[in-house]
Structure 1
């Protein structure tokens, strides 16, 4: 689905470093506060450093959106340290009945800046603390949660990055991951993301490949979670653009909205592509899942095959 002058996904990249920098940020500020139809959007990083096919579209109006930075808060004294669970939690998709979400383990939220392609959301203070690993038993307490399920046969490596690197440049996918972890065959690992986080992750058998430009060059998952500039909407997609443009292997990956019925997936070698980005769609917008404001639960299957 193509978004109308609003939420453009990170995934649409084109060849060349400059083109990648611009394409990766394919997301426009809403030009109106009036929404008559819902659309679908997308949006990701370890610490250091889809919607159902919504048919509605954003309507242009005269009232401009005022970007309100995410309020800062004091980090909790005891950050979460659990890293993995060998079995998926039966209730990780549940949502607190009182609408109150945990922020335990997150650093302070950074202020947003820029607009359109240059929009910079929350990257955490200290850098990368907007993304944390959490135990399956507490995953449901957080607002934005991603469940990673490993390959059925091999250990894989996963890297997660913020759209903006620690030095403030829009280059988080150039070997500037703020989280790196190994996931064993069949293992399940959970990550929680703070509000207004944008970025992506890449995965590979044994290690994540890198191209000559220094970009992570395996299949990507991209995310935009609780976007302040887009009135709290979230989005996600799977993208093979960098891998294909680099003439490197396209790994299988599937991302599904566990609270809805939208998925984005690519099988190994791009044999089957469903609601996801390949080089052919690099200039398109709106592919993937676009979720209205609220809790997000994304289920990621690595080494995906049908």
Structure 2
């Protein structure tokens, strides 16, 4: 059994000069990667929307009213109705403040996000996420920015092991791939033995890592406990 927790309110991840990718239209209207052809997406299940504040590193988008209601667990058959959605599968674990859940090996959960949501999820194989000396979640992170109003509706994602490494704790494997943009992925394997388009210390690149997506629907496939 693994623990997964999602939380809101990280600064936007958008870098328009890096990893921009055009959308691939799904061939089937019945799979979770489908999306409404008329561009009308459901907001069913979300709480109220909060107004954004700040800019740059201090930017805070929609965190839901009440807090955390911009992130909801949904049935698989409903995923195609939301603009921003991901699947989480464990081949290992993960965590979201205010939105924590457990995953059995081989199990998949579907999660939807309200527009202009920024944040991340932490992961662990244990019952609770390990923390550093400051109380922060110190595990491998998946980070997201969905439909950022500060960046004209663009989206982005990445995997980061920085928190775990600074705390000298185990780096768990994680992969995030865009299901609508073939080959666009960010991943780190266990112990950071293999790192692709993701954040570790010291950084493997002087530029931005992860992926930037044009405005429109987003479908992300997340694999916890990822190994090549």
Closer, same or farther in 2 for the Cα pair 1:27/1:96, shift >3 Å?
closer
SS in 2 for 1:105: coil
Matched, 1:178 2:98: yes
Q: How does 1:120-159 map to 2 (within 5 A)?
A: 120-151=60-91, 156=93, 158-159=94-95
- Structure 1: segments with no counterpart, 5+ residues: 1-23, 31-37, 41-49, 54-89, 161-176
Q: How does 1:130-279 map to 2 (within 5 A)?
A: 130-151=70-91, 156=93, 158-160=94-96, 177-207=97-127, 208-261=129-182, 262-279=184-201
Asked whether the equivalents of residues 13 and 144 of structure 2 are also in contact (C-alpha less than 8 Å), the reply is no
Q: Could you tell me how far apart the structure 1 residues matched to 2:43 and 2:142 are?
A: 23
By percentage of residues, which structure has more strand? 2
Instruction: Specify the alignment match of 1:291 in structure 2.
Output: 213
Question: TM-score, normalization: structure 1?
Answer: 0.65
Matched, 1:91 2:31: yes
CA RMSD of aligned residues (A): 2.2
Instruction: Specify the alignment match of 1:68 in structure 2.
Output: none
Moved over 4 A (4+): 282-285
Q: Across the two proteins, how many residue pairs are aligned to each other?
A: 211
Q: Could you tell me how far apart the structure 2 residues matched to 1:282 and 1:106 are?
A: 38
Instruction: Specify the alignment match of 2:17 in structure 1.
Output: 39
For residue 11 of structure 2, the aligned residue among 25, 34, 53 is 25
Q: Could you tell me how far apart the structure 2 residues matched to 1:245 and 1:219 are?
A: 11
Asked whether the equivalents of residues 266 and 304 of structure 1 are also in contact (C-alpha less than 8 Å), the reply is yes
SS in 2 for 1:281: coil
Tell me the CA shift for residue 206 of structure 1. Answer: 2.2
Q: Could you tell me how far apart the structure 2 residues matched to 1:114 and 1:290 are?
A: 21
Closer, same or farther in 2 for the Cα pair 1:183/1:304, shift >3 Å?
same
- Structure 2: segments with no counterpart, 5+ residues: 1-9, 23-29
Determine which structure has more spread, i.e. the larger CA radius of gyration.
1
Question: TM-score, normalization: structure 2?
Answer: 0.87
